[in-house]
Amino acid sequence: MMDLAATARDLGRLAEIAAVLTRYGFGDFAQRLGLAHEVKGAADLLHLGRAERVRHALEELGPTFVKLGQLLATRVDLFDAEWIAEFEKLQDRAPASDARAVRAQLVEDLGAPPEEVFAAFEAEPIAAGSVAQVHRARLADGSVVAVKVRRPGIVPTIEADLSILARLAQLAETRLPALARFRPREVVRQLTRTLRGELDLAAECRSAERVAESFRDAPHIVVPRVYWGWTGERVNVQQFIDGVPSRDLAAVDAAGLDRKRLASRGAHAMLKMVLEDGFFHADPHPGNVFYLPGERIAFIDFGMTGRLSAVRRGQLVDLLAGLVGRDVDAVVDVLADWNAPARVDAEALAAEVEAFIDRYHGAPLGTLRANAMFTDLTHLLREQSLALPPDLALVLKVCVELESTGRELDPAFDMIGEGEPFLRAAIRERRGPLALARRGWQAAGLALDVLAGMPRDLRRLVRAARSGRLQVHVDLTALEAFGRVIDGAASRLTLGVVTAALIIGSSIVMTVQGGPLLFGLPLLGLAGFLAAAVGGVWLLVSVLKSGR
């Protein structure tokens, strides 16, 4: 019964998605995915641009799709500026949840009514997003805290949407080859990881404490304290940060804060998280950054974080070092590795990379603009139908936001100059004598393991060959679609031959005297013509539907 209910729910949601897509002028897209059988007009919305219509459709489809749009806003390697600008307009805001449902859930999670747990609790939320809402409260010792509560009943809805999106992404890659370069399945996997992480409010606090530990010797970086006694999957309690919002420059000046120092400290904090720690705040928009007296910077809301493995950081360093050192081959190798197993035109890519390097070679650091360089780099990737891995797409987006915020604070802010010491340190760590010796030792160990295991592997191979169990599998996925086309063509050809035979046979029967009659004509001949007509109509409809 549960499976039937889930299936019925998913079918209803699919119909809703198809209706929204059709309303915003994407009925053909919905049909090609098999979501809609009838396209109704959307003329009243067609005056909007394509990117704007997509943004409105995502807003109408609800929280999961809003999060999808926000994630796509980080994929500057896949979408041009017009689309990124529209995706960035998607606001993670929603009306407050039903107060009684929130209170009942808090009683379950806290073990008592919030009015008894806290010295004071504001029932009206101070902020409400699609996944959770935040209430202000006060502890017995006078500390002001933020109580973040997950929306009651939201998990089944989001899981259902994620399941549908996974199926739609698979359909999009198979039925719409033009969308393959956007890697829909990869995007949905990233969305699933991000949303499930945001649904676990305790995981957000663990991320916050991980960043706080990294900055324990940096008093100018503040991360809210977590109160674990009242924190779990559906609720967390953290220190309330009462500072100047980073978007309010007038308040920054009124508080007497040094803008230049704030820009530099913010840049250093983010660069340290990315290049040194490999774990960073992936959503440092103005609403998540506050300025405190003494030019301290507070980061809040660690629901969305990014991770860079040691291997990925090494690749990033190799890429940047290749760009700085004009090593075109090194840059091409890294980009090709990131896009494996897709075929890469190495010669065309090398030419584009060389032109990119020449464009900025020799320019004084103070004249370079990171955003312009990032724009040119992402344009290069799109021209070559390449994409960044999702974790690096987040890094690129963070760097773009970082320079934008830095220049708002200080028009002379030099993102590249701020990042140069971190890059040089990362290159030394990556290519220094100790690092090379360590990697050489690891490689030697792996080689010895392979050599030691080779006799055993050869023995197994020979044994399998002797017993007839040795099999070679060749996966020709590119031929699957071709096979379906051939199969459909063969079916139509067969039906056409049968229809022609029926027409010829029925014509002959009509000339033969005797046998049962209908309306004075041979019954068998009439039946043959009727069957031929049905087959002909089916064949015509099939050809028209195929579009070929």
Instruction: For residues 470 and 72, give the distance between their C-alpha atoms in angstroms, rounded to a whole number.
Output: 45
Q: Are 266 and 402 in contact (CB under 8 A)?
A: yes
Instruction: For residues 532 and 511, give the distance between their C-alpha atoms in angstroms, rounded to a whole number.
Output: 18
Name the packing angle between helices 415-431 and 370-383 (round to 10°): 60
Catalytic site residue from 77, 92, 109, 283: 283
Q: Are 440 and 414 in contact (CB under 8 A)?
A: no
Among candidates 309, 343, 341, 346, which has minimal Cα distance to 331? Answer: 346
Place of tokens 């584009």: 352
Among candidates 53, 47, 92, which has minimal Cα distance to 71? Answer: 92
Instruction: For residues 242 and 17, give the distance between their C-alpha atoms in angstroms, rounded to a whole number.
Output: 41
Residue 258 designated active-site = no
Q: What are phi and psi of 183, to 5 degrees?
A: 50, 60
Q: Are 244 and 290 in contact (CB under 8 A)?
A: yes
Is the peptide bond between 95 and the residue preceding it cis, with omega within 30 degrees of 0?
no
Instruction: For residues 68 and 192, give the distance between their C-alpha atoms in angstroms, rounded to a whole number.
Output: 9
E-only strand ranges, 124-234: 127-128, 132-138, 144-150, 221-222
Q: Are 129 and 93 in contact (CB under 8 A)?
A: yes
Catalytic residues: 283
